[in-house]
A and B are shown apart, each in its own frame.
Chain A
Amino acid sequence: MKKNTLAAAAALALLLAACFFPAACGRPAPEGGPPGSENFVTIKGSDTMVHLVTSWAEAYMDVNPDANISVTGGGSGTGIAALLNGNTDICAASRETSGEEKQLAQQKNMDIKEYKVARDGIAVVVNPANPIPELTLEQLKKIYTGAVNDWSQVGGPPGQIVLLSRESSSGTYVFFQEHVLQKQDYAVDARLMPATSAIVQSVADDAQAIGYVGLGYALEAADRVKILAVKANETAPAVLPSEETIRSGAYSIARPLYYYVAAPVSEAVAGFIEFCLSPPGQKIVKEIGYIAVS
């Protein structure tokens, strides 16, 4: 019996240690130079971008057999923290650095450089059974702040709106809050889902649900969910997210994806970033479902 308790306590201890120690042990060495050897590049950050960055890394290593690139996710914030602590060469981020993070960089005397490497559109998705074809940004804002909670208030059949959002740790959450909610808080009963796949799954199951996901994911799941057209305002045309509409700016909910590095960078890092921005690099962006920057 006691063994059980001890095992439970030990498991808890290990779990907590596993959760917290990386953050604590990551206490920065004052000179955060790039780790590893000349040809070794580490990239850490946004989960949204992992697939894209991995594809870049594979293509780059095909043409440069000497290069050794390792890619991990963990989230934009994790990536930026790792960059500031000198634990990664490049941070991939789906949002801009926050004021707090910029301050931290200044304190450490680090020169952080920003590169826009791709663009991403955020699609608003509902259940295929939902007859609504489009929403205005204003309606989306009202829905997500909780001012409107029934589909009949936005031109649909009566029924409670089930709000699905990403977790507050997600870059997509912050972007949506800034650009669609116009910096208002999300409604208190918005369900925060741990992953994009969980949003797609729930929207596919629940007739009254609404969610937002990256365009790449939405297109992949197009047979299970319905992508809504978005009107910038009452009189503007309804626009479905696509490469053209995002590049031209006609579709309102789009964002840049970034690389952050601490200057000066090694030759290997500079070479890789140059590759990502080059025509072959940007072709990979399109293949994966994002939008090229150039």
Chain B
Amino acid sequence: MVPRQVKELGIAYVLMAASFACILIVFFIFLFLFREATPFVAKPGLGTLFDERWIPVSFQQQRFGIYPLITGSLLVTFLATALAVPFGVCAAVYIAEVARPKEREFLKPFIELMAAIPSVVLGFFGLVVLAPVVKAAFNLPTGLTALTGAILLAFMAIPTITSISEDAIKSVPRSYREASLALGATEMQTVWRVTVPAGLAGIVAAVMLGMGRVIGETMAVLMVTGNAAVITLNPLRSVRTMTATIAAEMGEVTYGSAHYQALFWIGILLLAATFILNIVAQRVLRSHQRY
């Protein structure tokens, strides 16, 4: 009896340690980011970040304005979300409500497989195949634009949005559908007027998690958006995202310099953004699961 209890307790502790280790790691990452970034507050001052130009390497004057990087990230993220939502949600509705079991077995794994494409491969595809298409479609001098990046990122967001939306739609109680059908609504009326609205909170959460994925994505945008730090809302211009900036510049930056610390501030901002998106999405999901 006693050895068995000890064993049980041991296993419980191991499990606990594993789960707390995750929290500890996240905590240490925050701590580490702040430790590396703090000297920037004294010199050259946090105000330097609130500027319109990002010129980290200059013989004139270094400038660490993060406005163009924020607008770049936001533009690409919202464009990608706008492109991914119709596809993702429609696919989820189809898989959850319309598709026959055979189709479902085939569709779901394939859509989820899209999430497994390495982003650098997707970026390469974007550079060689998609950029010339975008260039020709809009008659541009070059295809390295925010839109090209957004299309690639939409590919990455679709599996997340589809998979979680489908779960949300499926978890709408049967009784809702049965009541609607019993009242004489057609199948499509039931789907769009009853089931989808009832699962809306879950769909919203799915979209937010998709956005979280998009805003943190690096390699594909680094390869196709052109990376010019311009403040613009025009999808056909080049933008520089926060992630691409860190990835491109971290390797060469002088250790401990103002530029190095500025990159850590971008990292903090990015982590905070994804953190908030994830927390809000989870709240929304939880409120949705209440029935």
Contact = CB atoms under 8 A, between A and B. Distances in A.
B229 interface: yes
A206 B141 contact: yes
Contacts of A85: 255
B194 to A, nearest CB: 22
Interface stretch (A48-56, A60-68, A167-175): A167-175
Interface in A171-205: 173-174, 177-178, 183-185, 188-194, 198, 201-202, 205
Contacts, number: 153
A202 B144 contact: yes
Contacts of A19: 246-247, 250
B60 A185 contact: yes
B255 A81 contact: yes
Interface string B174-196: 00000000000000000000000
A13 B25 contact: yes
**Most chain B C-beta atoms within 10 Å of own C-beta, residue among A2, A23, A184:** A23
Interface in B261-291: 264, 267, 271, 274, 278, 281-282, 285
Interface string B232-267: 000001101000001111111111010010001001
Interface residues of A, number: 58
Contact of B249 (A12, A100, A167, A185): A167
A16 interface: yes
A131 interface: no
A26 interface: yes
Interface of A: 1-2, 4-6, 8-10, 12-13, 16-17, 19-20, 23-24, 26, 74-78, 81, 84-85, 98, 100-101, 104, 159-160, 162, 167-170, 173-174, 177-178, 183-185, 188-194, 198, 201-202, 205-209
Interface of B: 22, 25-26, 29, 32-33, 36, 53, 55-60, 127-128, 131-132, 135, 141-144, 160, 163-164, 167, 205, 209, 212-213, 216, 222-223, 226-230, 237-238, 240, 246-255, 257, 260, 264, 267, 271, 274, 278, 281-282, 285
